[in-house]
Amino acid sequence: MENLDWANLPFGYIHTDYNVRCYYRNGKWGALELCSEETINLHMAATCLHYGQEAFEGLKACRGKDGKIRIFRPEANAERLQSTCQGIVMAELPTELFIEAVKKAVKANERFIPPYESGATLYIRPLLIGTSAQVGVHPSSEYLFLIFVTPVGPYFKGGFAANPYVIIRKYDRSAPLGTGIYKTGGNYAASLRANKIAHELGYACEFYLDAKEKKYIDECGAANFFGIKDNTYITPLSTSILPSITNMSLMQLAKDLGMKVERRPVPEEELSSFEEAGACGTAAVISPIERIDDLENKKSYVIAKEGKPGPICTKLYNKLRAIQYGDEQDVHGWVTILD
């Protein structure tokens, strides 16, 4: 295994040995190629550079106590990438090819998968870009699919902690019938200003309301929102939220714990009634919400009363991580073990 300071790795890019590439040309996908080059040779008129034909994914692999490498729900990422491809008219990658590429990238960089005790994981970043040289606005006829991996440190360095968020009304991440439901870089570009403002004000992240009415909760930066009250897990239903695989998994785990699950529009005022709330996504799994400030309306929804994660957030967080590391039985068939 590589000699890295695993427990203190940042959430950043660390060089690994290989990436996996696959080219779409003449209407079909080619063979998976293992590549040690970190740069890509791209035509300056490629559609990804000018017209945003870019999709990405994010998932992770964990080394278990038993030494086995587990990849969490790669089929779900394959399907979400296909949905993004439909959304911005790109060539779809078959699920089997996606999973084969993920396994190949993880296997080739096995020495970078952090040890079990470290809390660090191997982050897997699939990327799909339109590469044809074009000036007119049309979908590309050629694509490059690429996967790189990089070891990332434990998200909560000082332990699982709660964070403050701020509602930003001035800028929207995505339009009601726009690309918010797809994992495409354009949404991130659109979020940078709000994110910068939130950070400058000392918040963990920006909090979005629905773009049309600014009445309902959408997302917390690049993470889904959920609230807990009366033994119920509540998460927003909206046409501009990215369908988080972590959120889908937490909904199932909440049901397994005997909780009710509701997916429906959540009005801002309802924030005051939650016993617990969290932001969820691959990187942090759950980032518990301490409070959400609405500066324009001079309101502060304090959720974690003592500033600490609540019992249900903690239980869900531990349960999901236990499945990812193989400490708990994978009853839903979410884990792919590397052979």
| Residues lying near ligand PLP in the complex (CB under 6 A) | 58, 183, 219, 222-224, 242, 244-247, 281-282
- Of the pair 142, 219, the CB lying nearest ligand PLP is at 219
Q: Closest approach of Cβ 311 to ligand PLP, in Å? A: 22
Question: Which is nearer to ligand PLP, 134 or 246 (by Cβ)?
Answer: 246
Distance in Å, CB of 140 to ligand PLP, minimum = 22
Cβ distance to ligand PLP smaller for residue 167 or 222: 222
Q: Give the nearer residue to ligand PLP in terms of CB position, either 131 or 244.
A: 244
- Which lies closer to ligand PLP via its Cβ, residue 131 or residue 246? 246
Rounded to the nearest whole angstrom, what is the least distance from the CB of residue 161 to ligand PLP in the complex?
19
Give the chain as a 3 state SS string. Answer: CCCCCHHHCCCCCCCCCCEEEEEEECCEECCCEEECCCCCCCCCCEHHHHHCCEEECCEEEEECCCCCEEEECHHHHHHHHHHHHHHCCCCCCCHHHHHHHHHHHHHHCHHHCCCHHHCCEEEEEEEEEECCECCCCCCCCCEEEEEEEEEECCCCCCCCCCEEEEECCCCCCCCCCCCCCCCCHHHHHHHHHHHHHHHHCCCCEEEEECCCCCCEEEEECCEEEEEEECCEEEECCCCCCCCCHHHHHHHHHHHHCCCEEEECCCEHHHHHHCCEEEEEECCCEEEEEEEEEECCCCEEEECCCCCCCCHHHHHHHHHHHHHHHCCCCCCCCCEEECC
Q: Least distance to ligand PLP from the beta carbon of 44, Å?
A: 27
Q: How near is the Cβ of 298 to ligand PLP at its closest, in Å?
A: 28
